[in-house]
Chain A
Amino acid sequence: MAMELDVFVGNTTIMDEEVYQLWLDGYTVSDAVKVRMEGGVMEECEASADVLLSDTMDQYRTFQMCERLLYSPAKLANQLLFQIPPHRQAILIERYYAFDDAFVREVLGKKLSKGTKKDLDDISAKTNVTLKSCRRQFDNFKRVFKVVEELKGPLVENIRQHFLLSDKLARDYAAIVFFANNRFETGKRKLQYLTFQDFAFCAGQLINNWTVGAVDNMVEDMDVDLDKEFLQELKELKILITDKDLLDQHKSLVCTALRGKTKAFNEMEANFKNLSRGLVNIAAKLTNTKDVRDFFIDLVEKTPSCVGQIHGRHQKLYLQNVSRLKRISSPAYFFPCLSPPPPPADAVISAPPVRTFSVFDLSAVIISSLSASLLESSVCKSDL
């Protein structure tokens, strides 16, 4: 029976989580009804297709009305239109802001502009995510980006509080915002094997260590922009390749820290010089915006094959040490201080304790995260 008008409104807003997911995934009403029928909900309650259609339409309408509120989730809690129990509100928000890894991988690092939005149909076709869902996800990214852009304080915390998201999701959004702001190129073929989570991890490390917020936590955009001064200072790392003594010192420090912790240690030690040179060269160029954008490509392309080898074969090494590869106060920029670093040269101890970060740290971090997915298989291979 086709109804001219058909509504059902509960005092407590009734929401079916399954239908919500279908709506979020961009299914049309008729497609959603098909999915539900296949899901066997009809047998459950002796319902007919009519009933299912009417229910789906009702729910879709409710979600559409709620969507406006979900744009600023804080409103959902004190709006009066829908009476939704708090735990349901939390589910609504979390699901609404959830995204598909396949989709986010496509837009990561792109400018969240109208131009990108126009390309969403291509992305939709490529990723098999419906256009509607793509738009929602894209708009979510953009909305979060816009809101946190103007806020002071730590990025993740801002996102978490403004959008009432879980910690995990807030971190992911921080990564998306960070990548979008710095426009890191992630779409090249060579980077295709990296997952969003790999990049999100890198973003977390970069935010913690390379941004303005790492030193000063009350400026605007503190966690979004890279610290220019720091990038400038990275140039001085060249000494690590040019000065033989320091190179040795660097090597010995790294080796000390990693010895016995990984099977791949020998290879790393053997290739240390090449590895170090590649990374330092990348680091030295980061003052250039273009090079910042190509940062991840460079890491993969311009570090010698050994990096590839290392990240192909010896992930354990880095993964295990990731936790230690955090920002370390150390007397010199050019000492890749793996924690806890024994101050190597008395000569530089007097230097002010500035936050430092070695490219090595980063490469370790990056490499480790670069192919977390490859890890299991590669370890297995090497064991064989």
Chain B
Amino acid sequence: MPGKLKAKIVAGRHLPVMDRASDLTDAFVEVKFGNTTFKTDVCPKSLNPQWNSEWFKFEVDDEDLQDEPLQVTVLDHDTYSANDAIGKVYIDIDPLLCNEAASVISGWFPIYDTIHGIRGEINVLVKVELFNDLNRFRQSSCGVKFFCTTSIPRCYRAAMVHGFVEELVVNEDPEYQWIDRIRTPRASNEARQRLISLMSGELQRKIGLKVLEMGGNAVVGYLQCFDLEGESGLVVRAIGTACTLDKLSSGTPASNACNSPSKDGKEPVFGEDLLSSSGPPTPFRALPTSSSSPPPLSPSKPCSRQSSSSDTDLSLTPKTGMGSGGSAGKEAGPLKTLLRQQTQTALEQRSMFSPTVSDRVFYLQEFPFFTLTSFPPGFLVHVGGVVSARSVKLLDRIHNPALGNTRSYKLLDWNSVTADEPETRDAWWEEIRQEIKSHAKALGCHAVVGYSESTSICEEVCILSASGTAAILNPRYMREGCLDIGIVDHRFEDPSPPSCGFCHIPYDELNMPFPTQLTYCYHCRRQKVPDVLFTTIDLPPEAAVTGKGCLIQARLCRLKKKAQGEVNATAISNLLPFMEYELHTQLMNKLKLRSMNALFGLRIQISIGENMLLGLASATGVYLTALPAPGGIQIAGKTPGDLSNEHHILTIQKRINDTIAKNKEIYQINPPELTEEVVGSPIPEPRQRSRLFRSHSESSDEVSELDLSHGKKDAFVLEIDDTDAVEDIHSLLTDATIPTGFNSCNTEIMPGIYNWTSAVQMFTSVRVFRLSNANLTNQGLNKIFTDLCENLLKSFYFKLRSMIPCCLCHLNFTVAVPEEELIQVAVTAVAMTYDKDQTQEKPAEKPITKEQLQFPMELCADSSSTNTQLSSKISGSLTHFFFFLSARGPPPLPAASVDYGSFADRCSTWLELLRLKAHTIRRGSVKTISSLERSSPVPDGRSRSLRSTRGFGGSSVTVVKMTPLSFLPGTRIIKYLGIINMFFIRETTSLREEGGVSGFLHSFIAEVFAMVRAHVAALGGNAVVSYSMKECVFMENPNKNQAQCLINVSGDAVICVRETDQEPVPSNIGQTCTSETDGAT
């Protein structure tokens, strides 16, 4: 069914001079969608043209609407020669296809040229009229919402979590086509940008279809990646978690709970916290009954190829990953029926199984994977540990590239080797997922959460990696409508308290999957916990934590001989286990050194280069109150008789002990003494346990399981037997300390910091180091790599010193080996300020937005319905509250905020601006007017014309905040406007003139930011959350004065308002809360 796309070109500004003679430009615009093109009139001799075009109307399929971007090209008219292109704007119209997102795209877009960068701006208006499509065989999936956020988006409630969705699309890379030899770099870059835009549109549409088949309406934790495989093609793949989301509004029961004084909503929660160690805790008693329906897991099967339980699927596999160009859509007739059959079987299966057999429901899903990293309270029951799998594959080459042109965008030609087909890639991932699944099973878990996939490619070798956290999810939420606590699985009759339950082991104590030392939970004393816990998820908000967390990184370099093909792949797969082992040991040692016992957000990245492998593991270490205190590190020499050696060892031992003591102080780790308890030995437990459980499958499909434990060896005894060990210990100790006033973590929230203020600074930093010394040793490389990472962090601390006290959150390091001698590290993170004075005293002041993931309504009620009665109640229980704090860290649920006034004072100017604009909300869009609006009497009619276009005043640009987190401190997200997924290529042939490689990349990153901000502003948004830079591929050729860079970014465009603000839209959440907090200040 068709839709009607309308576009209007309003004006341009700051255009470049295209005619040297007159220093002016005769600009006109081509608007292209699909195969239809419209042109505006030429606006002669102006750098600030006013076109005010008619509405260009495109009547197109909604399938095309999803796949294609609107392409706006600005050109300079030339009477005698060919028109010169100034630049282009690609506008993704997907957000307009969902009625809950944006309704119009309108604003100034930077005109982008892949050679010259941004060249002026153009004001465009875009609307879509979509006709209702009732065709059940449709190929489009309009209306399915996509979120990059890896938790349930703030203003939604998950009615159902359906499960894993994945898809991949393969095409030939235009850069490697025959035609590329004769076309200009610009044409080649544009072909590539357009193709990738098409492919990601197609991918999103296909995933959307799967979601619709599953009965969902949204994809959360959508993760899309590109694999630039070079000559063997270009793969775009995506994974996500299908959900059914309900928008929270004042009409839902949830908000009723908020509006009511909700004594019963609040007191039980408080009481529980206080009593959790003594009385029988029923933490979720209040939740299902009062308001929130925890998301039931739909047992419906994800639409995927293979399943151990239903073999029929194998043949019915919808091979949807086709080359772009729509060929897949046309052959989809039978496919549809298959899909329906699948759902039917799934439905039958669902009804067949009794609800008590909870695990089975998960096994029904081929891959019970969740890309989410934060969950609603009670969703996560137990966490087993990290599961990961890696596989080294050889990419097949297309042997005769000269023939490539005949294939153009179509694949499956006789010439295509099987490697080109999406099936091959699908099978590869399939294999890895199966492996992950079996690992999870071995850990006694039926699900994998915090799941992600990645690749690293060098020449024709490719490492596929997947990792996640094995977990048991609450079976209570598995059936629709089964929210009554009456029907609880017998296995889970006695739910663990939320603050420690997830730490309890999911596996059988007598049949442990790997050696570990179990003790009774230090918090509830009733269940067993391991001594160390590694996970890839965020710290659950309700978890009990002692002290603060910090970023822990393990870094490793391994030299490798240069090789080709199979030999190379084998060499790499032989190296991998050793790298993982060493990374793991480093992580463990650093964790111990900081006196912590758990890692969250663990991400291990292994990158291949021609002559080396790089490994980087980042995680946030914390001290979980429920887990036993970590022991110290013992140093032992190999030759005990040697006196001088002994002395040396003693010195090192002393230094280690001092460091541990110092770290305890820095991170405020003062665990409560539990001497009367015999739960576990309080003295160092001298054995290493591994939470990592993984294996490596090589290209030969040989699966080797790797046990990372140190066997019989005493784990925390570091033996100094050679110089390497000395080096290791030395590097362990010389890890730079964080300057005072700074904290860092790679998770969403920093354990131990709760009172964020509103200043936010997102940044991206890229460094490339050239190894000058040709014959480097592993040790030397390690040192260089470690220094590189440490120096990066140091330089962040220095640059952001004006924000102290502040925390660098979501520090996301990406390493690569772009060329033989180069190491590239790219970091994206956000610095957020917090109120130092209140860190300890009022840990529960502001966690509403930070910690709460799914049910903001309840928490509104809990936290801020501070009527007098309630606040007196709070002060009454304050002593208990603090006692409680000192006992076990922050409480799982927020107390009422008492100090909103001071918070408001601290709000930055930006937020002031946002507040100003709350009044100018029109059609759901917020525009911020800069306070310094100057009415400059610019000679031409620029300012006049701009004023007429919806608040884009002559001198005002909407302030758009960006953050890799799912929230902005001090603000509340009131609307999600759609996903931002952009891919840019920039190339230069005048590298020196642009300030060298640094100047080139600096301006490119700034341009990418600018384009993201412009698109968000045009959608009516004022912030991007869950922002990430997925790809940053940089290539240079200084001799030719050339460089090229590809960047892929994504995020969620949102409208947010200041937390303390009155709601501009009456139907929005939290109105009463807001007014009450205002009254309280």
Q: For A7, A65, A77, which residue has the most chain B Cβ atoms within 10 angstroms?
A: A7
Q: Is residue B937 within 8 Å, beta carbon to beta carbon, of the partner chain?
A: yes
Bound: A1/B794 CA distance, A: 13
Bound: A44/B740 CA distance, A: 10
Chain A residues with CB under 8 A of B762: 10-11
Expressed in whole angstroms, the minimum distance between the Cβ of A87 and any Cβ of chain B is 7
Chain A residues with CB under 8 A of B1013: 11, 80, 83
Q: Is residue B37 within 8 Å, beta carbon to beta carbon, of the partner chain?
A: no
Q: Is residue B877 within 8 Å, beta carbon to beta carbon, of the partner chain?
A: no
Is A45 touching B791 in the complex (CB atoms < 8 A)?
A: no
User: Mask for A12-25, Cβ within 8 A of B = 1, else 0?
Assistant: 11100000000000
Q: Is residue A162 within 8 Å, beta carbon to beta carbon, of the partner chain?
A: yes
Nearest B residue (CB) for A10: B763
Q: Is residue A232 within 8 Å, beta carbon to beta carbon, of the partner chain?
A: no
Q: Do A80 and B1034 contact each other (CB < 8 Å), given the known contacts A10-B762, A12-B761, A89-B932?
A: no
Nearest B residue (CB) for A62: B1002
Q: Do A11 and B954 contact each other (CB < 8 Å), given the known contacts A4-B769, A80-B1010, A80-B1014?
A: no
Bound: A229/B110 CA distance, A: 52
Q: Is residue A90 within 8 Å, beta carbon to beta carbon, of the partner chain?
A: yes
Q: Is residue A51 within 8 Å, beta carbon to beta carbon, of the partner chain?
A: yes
Expressed in whole angstroms, the minimum distance between the Cβ of A255 and any Cβ of chain B is 46
Nearest B residue (CB) for A153: B937
Bound: A83/B956 CA distance, A: 11
Expressed in whole angstroms, the minimum distance between the Cβ of A48 and any Cβ of chain B is 7
Bound: A44/B800 CA distance, A: 12
Q: Is residue B767 within 8 Å, beta carbon to beta carbon, of the partner chain?
A: yes
Q: Is residue B1005 within 8 Å, beta carbon to beta carbon, of the partner chain?
A: yes
Is A1 touching B788 in the complex (CB atoms < 8 A)?
A: yes
Expressed in whole angstroms, the minimum distance between the Cβ of B1001 and any Cβ of chain A is 5
Is A61 touching B995 in the complex (CB atoms < 8 A)?
A: yes
Is A161 touching B936 in the complex (CB atoms < 8 A)?
A: yes
B-side interface residues, number (CB < 8 Å): 65
Expressed in whole angstroms, the minimum distance between the Cβ of B1009 and any Cβ of chain A is 6
Q: Is residue A113 within 8 Å, beta carbon to beta carbon, of the partner chain?
A: no
Bound: A279/B764 CA distance, A: 67
Q: Do A64 and B998 contact each other (CB < 8 Å), given the known contacts A44-B801, A81-B110?
A: no
Q: Do A50 and B791 contact each other (CB < 8 Å), given the known contacts A61-B999, A77-B932, A87-B909?
A: yes
User: Mask for B580-592, Cβ within 8 A of A = 1, else 0?
Assistant: 0000000000000
Nearest B residue (CB) for A5: B768
Contact of B822 among A4, A44, A58, A83 (CB under 8 A): A4
8 Å CB contacts to B: which residues of A82-100?
A: 82-83, 85-87, 89-90
Is B764 touching A9 in the complex (CB atoms < 8 A)?
A: yes
Bound: A57/B765 CA distance, A: 13
Is B938 touching A74 in the complex (CB atoms < 8 A)?
A: yes
Q: Is residue B961 within 8 Å, beta carbon to beta carbon, of the partner chain?
A: yes
Chain A residues with CB under 8 A of B946: 78
Bound: A161/B909 CA distance, A: 24
Contact of B121 among A47, A58, A80, A90 (CB under 8 A): A80
Chain A residues with CB under 8 A of B995: 61, 64
Q: Is residue A214 within 8 Å, beta carbon to beta carbon, of the partner chain?
A: no
Chain A residues with CB under 8 A of B932: 77, 86-87, 89-90
Chain B residues with CB under 8 A of A89: 932
Is B962 touching A80 in the complex (CB atoms < 8 A)?
A: no
Expressed in whole angstroms, the minimum distance between the Cβ of B796 and any Cβ of chain A is 8
Q: Is residue A52 within 8 Å, beta carbon to beta carbon, of the partner chain?
A: yes
Bound: A190/B952 CA distance, A: 55
Contact of B794 among A11, A51, A58, A79 (CB under 8 A): A51
Q: Is residue A46 within 8 Å, beta carbon to beta carbon, of the partner chain?
A: yes
Bound: A9/B764 CA distance, A: 5
Q: Do A78 and B955 contact each other (CB < 8 Å), given the known contacts A3-B768, A86-B931?
A: yes
Q: Is residue A193 within 8 Å, beta carbon to beta carbon, of the partner chain?
A: no
Bound: A82/B110 CA distance, A: 12
Bound: A81/B761 CA distance, A: 16
Q: Do A1 and B998 contact each other (CB < 8 Å), given the known contacts A78-B957, A162-B936?
A: no
Is A164 touching B934 in the complex (CB atoms < 8 A)?
A: yes
Contact of B955 among A6, A77, A85 (CB under 8 A): A77
Expressed in whole angstroms, the minimum distance between the Cβ of B1027 and any Cβ of chain A is 9
Contact of B118 among A57, A62, A80 (CB under 8 A): A80
Is A55 touching B999 in the complex (CB atoms < 8 A)?
A: no
Q: Is residue B652 within 8 Å, beta carbon to beta carbon, of the partner chain?
A: no
Q: Is residue B1006 within 8 Å, beta carbon to beta carbon, of the partner chain?
A: yes
User: Mask for B859-896, Cβ within 8 A of A = 1, else 0?
Assistant: 00000000000000000000000000000000000000
Bound: A286/B582 CA distance, A: 88
Q: Is residue B375 within 8 Å, beta carbon to beta carbon, of the partner chain?
A: no
Q: Do A65 and B1003 contact each other (CB < 8 Å), given the known contacts A5-B1034, A79-B14, A83-B1013?
A: yes
Chain B residues with CB under 8 A of A50: 791, 795
Contact of A61 among B761, B784, B1002 (CB under 8 A): B1002
Expressed in whole angstroms, the minimum distance between the Cβ of B121 and any Cβ of chain A is 6
Is B118 touching A74 in the complex (CB atoms < 8 A)?
A: no
Is B767 touching A3 in the complex (CB atoms < 8 A)?
A: yes
Chain B residues with CB under 8 A of A161: 934, 936-937
Sample of 21 A–B contacts (CB below 8 Å): A3-B767, A5-B768, A5-B824, A6-B768, A6-B998, A7-B766, A7-B998, A7-B1002, A10-B763, A11-B961, A11-B1013, A14-B800, A44-B801, A48-B791, A61-B995, A79-B14, A80-B108, A87-B909, A89-B932, A161-B937, A164-B934
The 10 A-B pairs with the shortest beta carbon distances in the complex, nearest first, are A86-B932, A77-B955, A5-B768, A9-B1005, A8-B765, A11-B762, A10-B763, A4-B770, A7-B1002, A4-B768
Interface residues of A (CB under 8 A from B): 1, 3-14, 44-48, 50-52, 54-55, 57-58, 61-62, 64-65, 74-75, 77-83, 85-87, 89-90, 151, 161-162, 164
